[in-house]
Amino acid sequence: MDATLFMQLGISFGLGLLLGLERERAESSIAGIRTFPFVSLFGTVCAQLGQVFGGWIVAAGLLTLGALVIFANYAKMKTGDADPGMTTEVAMVLLYVLGALVVVGHSVPAIVLGGIMALLLHLKGPLHKFAAAVGEREMRAIMQFVLISLIILPVLPDENYGPYGVWNPFKLWLMVVFIVGISLCGYVAYKVFGTRAGTVLGGVIGGLISSTATTVSFARRAASEKALAPLAAFVIMLATCISLGRVLVEIAVVATGSFPALAPPLSALLVVCLLLACRLFFLARKSRAAMPEQKNPAEFKSAFVFGGLYGVVLLAVAAARDHFGSAGLYVVGAVSGLTDVDAITLSTAQMTGSGGLPPATAWRTVLIAVMANLIFKFGIVASLGSAALIGRVAGVFAAALAAGGLIFWFWPA
């Protein structure tokens, strides 16, 4: 029993010391490296006493801390310090609660929350810069995502409907939220970095938002700016690599148990694509170009279009598997992959995760979709880009398609 008490006090003291160190370096006038450990220990001791004498002691301790914080702020104002910030005060109150949380058997959540608090306190400058960089359009995108994820999603029925029972409104919209969330992260990064994003970061952000849209943008720019061809080829290839990385992330989230069986062949293609992108980078490393304007991926139209496409692909995959077997799935993968790889990836991963599709068939279907998407992107480059860009992209895409073909035929099932 004594060992448990001392362990609780030790965890509490460590959390207080961590947060106190950060506040001391921030030159807080309310509390620092000595006061914060006292606050966390106060919460722990009150919770320990509360287990013997009742929970009212924890509440009384919280009221006492609140009174001390109010008195400290009053004294601060009397000395002429009119800083209206409340961050340190709120951190003290939350730290008291974490100290009590350690006692009731939730040490791990308390430690995690303490670490998060330390990071939030330390990253004051970057967080304020980020908030200042987010404008009205970005807030609109974030609020639209909130509507999509926190308002629409929870009210959808979690039941199967339609042919083959593949249309589950909740699960279908959950995938919409997942894909829009990934794209939104890229969009926010684009808004934060904007034209300051370098070549590599620009390709990464473009791949997160939409590799196809990035291909269209840079193909058009290369047509009007001939010298931009080496850079455009690199950005297009890098965005393609990121889109393939997205595929692996989607599989890891949707079919976690099957990920070890699905990931290796797709990862092999990703390595080949990255090597090709590195070659293009050395040819274009001296070129510079601002990122083109990106669309908000959280628009309702985009969300509903992807939801509809995903629903159609789910049905097509189930029907093709039922009537035509693997060959039918490969055809669906090739057709759907022409414009969007996410839908076929999520649908096959979902079926594999539930045991309805062999892993070898699933990764081959996704691989075909990725290869079809490469062909579609080359069609975009051929129709919009310059001759120099077409030549560069044709070489790396042909190598990627050849690698994909070898993986499809010779990778062990």
What predicted TM-score, i.e. pTM, was given to this entire model?
0.70
d(CA 362, CA 353): 10
pLDDT at 408 over 90: yes
In a shared domain, residues 108 and 72: yes
CB-CB neighbours of 136 under 10 Å: 7
d(CA 96, CA 65): 8
pLDDT mean across residues, the chain: 82
In a shared domain, residues 214 and 328: yes
In a shared domain, residues 391 and 245: yes
Residue where one domain finishes, among candidates 58, 87, 122: 122
In a shared domain, residues 223 and 354: yes
In a shared domain, residues 13 and 116: yes
Q: Flag whether 396 is in a domain.
A: yes
Q: Average pLDDT for residues 322-340, to the nearest whole number?
A: 82
CB-CB neighbours of 118 under 10 Å: 18
Backbone angles phi, psi at 308, to 5 degrees: -65, -45
In a shared domain, residues 94 and 140: no
Q: Which residue has the tokens 């109150």?
A: 93
CB-CB neighbours of 278 under 10 Å: 13
d(CA 330, CA 347): 13
The tokens for 284 are 């274009």
pLDDT at 76 over 70: no
In a shared domain, residues 93 and 178: no
The tokens for 182 are 């990934």
The tokens for 214 are 């990035």
Query: What is the predicted pLDDT for the residue at 30?
Result: 64
User: What is the CA 347 to chain-centroid distance, rounded?
Assistant: 20
> Is there a contact between 40 and 96 (Cβ–Cβ < 8 Å)?
yes
> Is there a contact between 333 and 365 (Cβ–Cβ < 8 Å)?
yes
Q: Flag whether 206 is in a domain.
A: yes
Burial class (CB in 10 A: 0-12, 13-18, 19+), 107: middle
Q: Which residue has the tokens 């000395």?
A: 79
Q: Average pLDDT for residues 348-374, to the nearest whole number?
A: 90
Of 112, 117, 111, whose CA–CA distance to 90 is shortest? 117
Residue where one domain finishes, among candidates 94, 122, 150: 122
d(CA 59, CA 77): 27
Query: What is the predicted pLDDT for the residue at 267?
Result: 95
The tokens for 37 are 């450990």
The DSSP call for residue 167 is: B
Helix (H, G, I), strand (E, B) or coil at 161: strand
82-101, pLDDT tens digit by residue? 555 577 778 888 888 888 88
Amino acid, res. 227: A
In a shared domain, residues 147 and 94: no
Q: Which residue has the tokens 């947060």?
A: 19
Query: What is the predicted pLDDT for the residue at 271?
Result: 95
Q: Which of 10-14, 98-102, 314-318, 381-385 has the lowest mean pLDDT?
A: 314-318
Residue where one domain finishes, among candidates 57, 92, 122: 122
| Count of structural domains, the chain | 2
29-59, pLDDT tens digit by residue? 566 778 888 888 888 899 888 888 888 888 8
At 206, the pLDDT band (50, 70, 90 cuts) reads low
Q: Flag whether 128 is in a domain.
A: no
Q: Flag whether 23 is in a domain.
A: yes
Residues in the chain: 413
Query: What is the predicted pLDDT for the residue at 293?
Result: 57
Of 355, 357, 400, 353, whose CA–CA distance to 375 is shortest? 400
In a shared domain, residues 225 and 346: yes
156-193, pLDDT tens digit by residue? 888 888 787 778 888 888 888 887 887 777 776 666 66
Query: What is the predicted pLDDT for the residue at 394?
Result: 92
**CA-angle at 107, arms to 103 and 112, nearest 5°:** 140
d(CA 260, CA 240): 22
Q: Flag whether 130 is in a domain.
A: no
CA separation, residue 247 to residues 164, 170, 208, 345 (Å): 25, 21, 11, 7
In a shared domain, residues 90 and 239: no
Domain span holding position 298: 135-410
Q: Flag whether 127 is in a domain.
A: no
Most confident of 81-90, 291-300, 350-359: 350-359
Q: Flag whether 129 is in a domain.
A: no
Q: Flag whether 151 is in a domain.
A: yes
Query: What is the predicted pLDDT for the residue at 300?
Result: 72
In a shared domain, residues 265 and 392: yes
Q: Average pLDDT for residues 300-311, to the nearest whole number?
A: 80
d(CA 46, CA 61): 7
In a shared domain, residues 80 and 147: no
